[in-house]
Amino acid sequence: MADLSIVFAGIKAPNPFWLASAPPTDKAYNVVRAFEAGWGGVVWKTLGEDPPPVNVSSRYSAHYGKNREVIGFNNIELITDRSLEINLREITQVKKDWPDRAVIVSLMLPCVEQSWKDILPLVEATGADGIELNFGCPHGMPERGMGAAVGQVPEYVEMVTRWCKRYSRLPVIVKLTPNITDIRLPARAAHAGGADAVSLINTINSITAVDLDRMIARPIVGGASTHGGYCGPAVKPIALNMVAEIARDPQTAGLPISGIGGIGNWRDAAEFLALGAGSVQVCTAAMLHGFRIVEEMKDGLSRWMDGKGYATIAAFAGKALAHTTDWKYLDMNYQVIAAIDQSLCIACGKCHIACEDTSHQSIAQLIADDGSRRYEVISQECVGCNLCEITCPVAGCISMVVQQTGKPYMNWTQDRRNPQASG
């Protein structure tokens, strides 16, 4: 079997699957259950100064698919509402009992140097493996000058990171907010401040639903609501892009990345790892399905690695980055055309309708004398947009076939019609 063990920013773990800082890691009871199920590490729910904040009720809402599948999850919960003393005591005991697992402590404090100087030795004394600076929480805490209010200002990110490197020997992981125009800027700031790694993404500002009877957004607290942090499967594409942006940025080259956002199975994790992550963090999937989902994650990733000949995580980590570039460098002469496998086609017509109404009218509907229908691609009209393949309900029925155009590689920077073209 493939070796799933990792060393992330100097932190050892038996596998790359960690629980993110969130309700599932708020107390020793949950964390112990997670370790018993096989998780490689946890990021303890964010600690702050005493007295802890007061959470509200209710706290969660969801964005559902047609069959009530949760595709997006929203929360307005704050950092831990348990005392610092209780959390530190439990962290100490858990790390003592589970020395082979990664235990990272998430922290959020005001931008006051003394506050960080005071808490860091207490965290270090627990035996924890590292700290994660929560610069991402988008609700409640920014109103107090913390969370995303810090993560959106690169100068603050660098400043606090420097404090933590000054007053602690533990590896410092900086958790980034996605609620920003260019994710590379705070990542560069963290790197400049001496961060050992970054983690992303934190949750996205959102309102998931509105109760149209009461005319209040969800979740409802008394007679009001507010925006919360969005996570779950729906945010995965955003997270993958932001991870890749940092991983291929020359100014943060080599900075370890812990990937977060919509990871629910081994394939999701493999995609994050392939785009440059060195570990992955999971929250929503565990909250919806329980801790034992890690068994399938580990087994699936191990089997896939065996099938591909990857002996270790490092063997494929970042392997997709070489094929990830800016749009301007894509080959404008590359062409694919749709092809329909008639033996698999169920003649539902979805490809024809989608192409006829919203694309390039390149799929013909042929009706025989007996009323049966057949769909064929009009190759000279097809631009290879993939819409028909996406709408087709039968896997493998429609494929995109590469065409031999005889034209050399040419990107936008080389196109003579582009006034900015060189050469």
Residue 146 has pLDDT above 90, yes or no: no
Residues 83, 64: Cα–Cα separation, whole Å: 35
pLDDT bucket at 415, cuts 50 / 70 / 90? confident
* Average pLDDT of the residues in 410-422: 84
Asked if residue 219 has a cis previous peptide bond (ω within 30° of 0), the answer is yes
> What pLDDT, on a 0 to 100 scale, did the predictor assign at position 423?
53
β-strands 257-260, 279-282: how paired?
A: parallel
Quick: pLDDT tens for 247-296: 999 999 899 999 999 999 999 999 999 999 999 999 999 999 999 999 99
Residues 28, 94: Cα–Cα separation, whole Å: 7
β-strands 102-107, 130-134: how paired?
A: parallel
DSSP per residue, 300-329: HHHHHHHHHT--BGGGTTTTTGGG---GGG
Q: What percent of the chain has pLDDT over 90?
A: 94
Q: Is 388 a catalytic residue?
A: no
Class of domain 327-402: alpha beta
Residues 174, 362: Cα–Cα separation, whole Å: 49
The tokens 């003393």 sit on which residue? 85
Q: What percent of the chain has pLDDT over 70?
A: 100
> What pLDDT, on a 0 to 100 scale, did the predictor assign at position 422?
63
Phi then psi dihedrals of residue 191, to 5 deg: -60, -45
Helix (H) or strand (E) holding 144: none
Three-class SS state of 247: helix
> What pLDDT, on a 0 to 100 scale, did the predictor assign at position 416?
78
Looking at every residue in the chain, the average pLDDT score rounds to: 96
Q: Report domain extents, the chain.
A: 6-323, 327-402
DSSP state of 38: T
pLDDT bucket at 144, cuts 50 / 70 / 90? confident
CATH topology (fold) of 6-323: TIM Barrel (3.20.20)
Quick: pLDDT tens for 89-137: 999 999 999 999 999 999 999 999 999 999 999 999 999 999 999 998 8
Quick: pLDDT tens for 282-295: 999 999 999 999 99
**Amino acid letter, residue 320:** A
> What pLDDT, on a 0 to 100 scale, did the predictor assign at position 142?
77
* Average pLDDT of the residues in 315-330: 97
> What pLDDT, on a 0 to 100 scale, did the predictor assign at position 251?
97
> What pLDDT, on a 0 to 100 scale, did the predictor assign at position 147?
84
Q: CB atoms < 10 A from the CB of 91, how many?
A: 24
| Cα Rg of the chain (Å, integer) | 24
Burial of 67 (0-12, 13-18, 19+ CB in 10 A): exposed
Can you read off the two tokens belonging to residue 72?
Answer: 């997006």
pLDDT bucket at 141, cuts 50 / 70 / 90? confident
Quick: pLDDT tens for 344-386: 999 999 999 999 999 999 999 999 999 999 999 999 999 999 9
Can you read off the two tokens belonging to residue 137?
Answer: 């929480």
> What pLDDT, on a 0 to 100 scale, did the predictor assign at position 101?
98
Phi then psi dihedrals of residue 333, to 5 deg: -100, 0
Helix (H) or strand (E) holding 164: helix 154-167
> What pLDDT, on a 0 to 100 scale, did the predictor assign at position 170?
98
Please pick, among 137, 164, 283, 392, the residue that the annotation labels catalytic. 137
Helix (H) or strand (E) holding 390: helix 387-391
> What pLDDT, on a 0 to 100 scale, did the predictor assign at position 140?
74
* Average pLDDT of the residues in 382-403: 98
Residues 216, 170: Cα–Cα separation, whole Å: 44
Q: Is 103:44 a contact under the CB 8 Å cutoff? A: yes
Quick: pLDDT tens for 292-312: 999 999 999 999 999 999 999
Quick: pLDDT tens for 169-220: 999 999 999 999 999 999 999 999 999 999 999 999 999 999 999 999 999 9
The number of angstroms, rounded, from the C-alpha of 312 to the middle of its chain's C-alpha atoms is: 22
